[in-house]
Amino acid sequence: MAEREDDAESLVLALERGDRRALGRAITLVESERPEDAERAERLVARARTRSSASVRLGVSGPPGAGKSTLIDVLGRHAIAAGERVAVLAIDPSSPVGGGSLLGDKTRMARLAGEAASFIRPSPSRGTPGGIARRTREAVELCEAAGYSLVIVETLGTGQGEHAVAGVVDVVVLVVIPGAGDELQGMKRGLVELSDVIVVNKSDGAQRAAAERAASELTTALGFFARTAHETSRPVLTLSAQEERGIPELWAAITARVAQARASGAFVARRAAGERRSFEEEVEQALRARLAGPELAAERARLEGEVLAQRLTPREAARRLVAKLA
C-alpha cells in the first residue's frame, strides 16, 4: 500500500513539473476500467485536486462537420499567445473491437500540438452518453494540476444529446454552420439552452452572407431559450476557423463570460453544481455495479423468475433486490 501511495505522489509531482508523459499516464490510469486500478486512480485524483490551480474549463460542442477541431486548433494557439497553457481533451468515438479511440491522434490540431505550452489527449467515449467520457472531469482536474490554465473539452459531436459537458466546464461554446436556424429549432431545449457562446463557423467565401443571416436568426431565436429572467444576452458570433478570422472576438467573448460569472458568483455555483452532479452519477454507477455483481446474481435471477411468473410486480421485485444491499 505504501508503495502505491508513493507512486501516486511521484506521479503528481511529475505533473507539477510539467511532464506531459506523466500527465498522459495519469489520464490513462483514471480512464482504466480494470478493478485493480480503481483505488490507485482515486488516490491520484485526490492528491491532484489539492494542487489544482485556478483555471478555465471550456467546452466546445456542435454537430459533426461544424469544424470544432479546426476552431480549437486556432483558438488554442491564440490563447497561448495571450499567455495561457492549453490542454485539449478530445472525446472520440470508441472502437467496437478494442474500445479505444477511433480518431485518437493529433493530426486534426497539428499546429496546436506543435506548441510547447499545449497538451492534446484523445479519449474514447466507450459508449458514455452525453458527448463526453465517464472520467472527463477527473482528466480535467489532472490537467489543472499539471498547470494548464485553459482546459478545452471537445465533445463527441453527436448533436442535441450532448448535455453532459455543461456540468464539467465553465463555458460552453456551441459551433454551428450556415443554415443553423432550422437546426436550432430541431434542437429545442437541448444543448442550445446550455450554451454560453454560439459561433457560426465557416463564414467565408460564398458562405459568408449565409453565416450572417444564420447568426441573425440565432440571435432572435435565443430569446426563446433564456435560462433565467435576469440572464445576460448570449453572444452569437460569425467566424472562419479556416481563415483564422473572428478568433480574437471569440476569445474576448469567452473571457468576458468568465469575468461576469466570477463577479456574480455564478462561476463558483456552477462548479459546485457540477460536483454535485458528478457525485450523484458516481453513486448511481456504484449501485448499478453492486446490483449487477456476482454476489446478487442468484437473487436477481430468482426475482426475475417471480416477475415473469407474475407472482411479483417489477416494482416489488426491484425493491426486494435493492434491500439486499443493506
pLDDT of the residue at 164: 82
Residue-wise pLDDT for 193-249, tens only, equals: 788 999 999 898 888 888 888 888 888 777 766 555 445 578 999 999 999 999 999
Q: Which fold has domain 1-51?
A: 1.20.5
User: Is a pLDDT exceeding 90 seen at residue 114?
Assistant: yes
Vertex 39: Cα angle to 41 and 127 (nearest 5): 60
Bridge partners of 58, per DSSP, are 152, 171
Q: What is the DSSP string of 74-107?
A: HHHHHHHHTT--EEEEEEEPBPTTT-SBTT-SSG
CATH class of 52-264: alpha beta
Question: What is the end-to-end Cα distance of the chain in Å, rounded?
Answer: 29
pLDDT tens-digit readout, 296-307 = 999 999 999 999
In the chain, domain spans: 1-51, 52-264, 277-323
Range of weakest confidence among 55-64, 224-233, 308-317: 224-233
Q: Tell me the CA distances in angstroms from 10 to 22, 44, 280, 318, one per residue in order.
A: 10, 10, 30, 45
Q: Give the CA angle between residues 282, 286, 289 to the nearest 5°.
A: 140
pLDDT on residue 242: 92
Mean pLDDT of the chain: 84
pLDDT at 307: 97
1 has pLDDT over 60: no
Beta bridge partners of residue 153, listed in sequence order: 59, 89
What was the pLDDT predicted at 285? 85
- Angle at which helix 2-16 crosses helix 20-31, to 10 degrees, equals 130
pLDDT-derived band at 115, boundaries 50, 70, 90: very high
pLDDT of residue 163: 75
50 or 91: whose pLDDT is higher? 91
CB atoms within 10 A of CB 189: 11
Residue 48 — very low, low, confident or very high, per pLDDT cuts 50/70/90? confident
Gap between the Cα atoms of 210 and 118, Å rounded: 34
pLDDT at 257: 94
- Least Cα distance to 128 among 97, 104, 166, 155 occurs for 155
Report the distance separating Cα 37 and Cα 301, nearest Å: 30
Within 10 angstroms of residue 234's Cβ, the number of other Cβ atoms is 20
Whole-number pLDDT of residue 33: 84
